[in-house]
Amino acid sequence: MSIKENLEKINSEISETCKSCKRNSTEIKLVAVSKFHPLEKIEEAISAGQLLFGENRVQEAKEKFTQISLKYPNVDLHIIGSLQRNKVKDAVKIASCIESVDRLELLDEIEKQCSKIDKKIDVLLEVHTGEESKSGFLDFTSLEQAVCALAENKYPHVNVRGLMTMAPFTEDESLIRKSFSTTKKYLEDLKSKYPALNLTELSMGMSNDFKIAIEEGSTMIRVGTSIFGAREY
Ligand SMILES: *Cc1c(COP(=O)(O)O)cnc(C)c1O
């Protein structure tokens, strides 16, 4: 199937899943994960109407999306992979959102680099809920420390929008569901403790588990393989 057909299929699966769990499909943003795929495939997705993309490596993202953003100024990029401090400078230039903030030190660097270019950036805090990802805040306490610092406005160029997680890679649906429901619970707890923050987003769900994620409250799904096909590493 073509990228266009894959996108149509996923968008209709999003609609069906929302219908069955009584959600509005306009609540769900589809992030097309284009890592390891060439520019031409990204352009194919753009011509099919997809304007939001995710990449997990800054160097690769920079090479592709510097060009893309010149040609298609309304295309948005999220960084979704674990980020080294020395990559933050480039990351904040090309992305509208860093979904994978997993430690306080990274917020310091994001603030520093964004203030230099006078840019306000969205971030999500990554929660570690499965062994699939090595990164992420390990528990509610460490997560709340970061949220607290954000609520105290220590990072005026950083707009925290919610949480992100990667479920464990397993056949056991209950474990996947638990990863998502834990993250949702964390968001709800943080929302009620920090009502001044604009915490609305939950980035959860990939090609294999996005339907479960939507049922558990996801607002952002990150889909690569089901759109672009298998990656060649
Ligand atoms: C690669 C990646 C995805 C997409 O995974 P697929 O299984 O190809 O849909 C989603 N989230 C993150 C953080 C990734 O690194």
In the structure, what pLDDT confidence band is assigned to residue 132 with cuts at 50, 70 and 90?
A: low
Tell me the per-residue pLDDT of 24-55, one tens digit each, with 9 for 90 and over. 999 999 999 999 999 999 999 999 999 999 99
- Separation of alpha carbons 44 and 15, rounded Å: 22
Of 72, 176, 158, nearest to 114 by C-alpha is 158
pLDDT(133) > 90: no
- Ligand 1 atom nearest 226 alpha carbon: 9
pLDDT at 167 over 80: yes
Pocket of ligand 1 from Cβ distances under 6 Å: 33, 35, 56, 80-81, 166, 206-208, 222-226
**How far is the centre of ligand 1, averaged over its atoms, from the C-alpha of 86 (Å)?**
23
Helix (H) or strand (E) holding 46: helix 39-47
pLDDT in tens, 63-111: 999 999 999 999 999 999 999 999 999 999 999 999 999 999 999 999 9
Name the band, by pLDDT with cuts 50, 70 and 90, for residue 130. Answer: confident
In this prediction, residue 173 has a pLDDT band, given cuts at 50, 70 and 90, of very high
pLDDT digits (tens, 9 = 90+) for 1-27: 999 999 999 999 999 999 999 999 999
Using CA positions, which residue lies closest to atom 6 of ligand 1?
Answer: 224
Residues 6+ apart with CB under 8 A from 226: 6, 9, 10, 207
Structural element, H or E, at residue 159? strand 158-165
Report yes or no: 41 and 64 within 8 Å, Cβ to Cβ. Answer: no
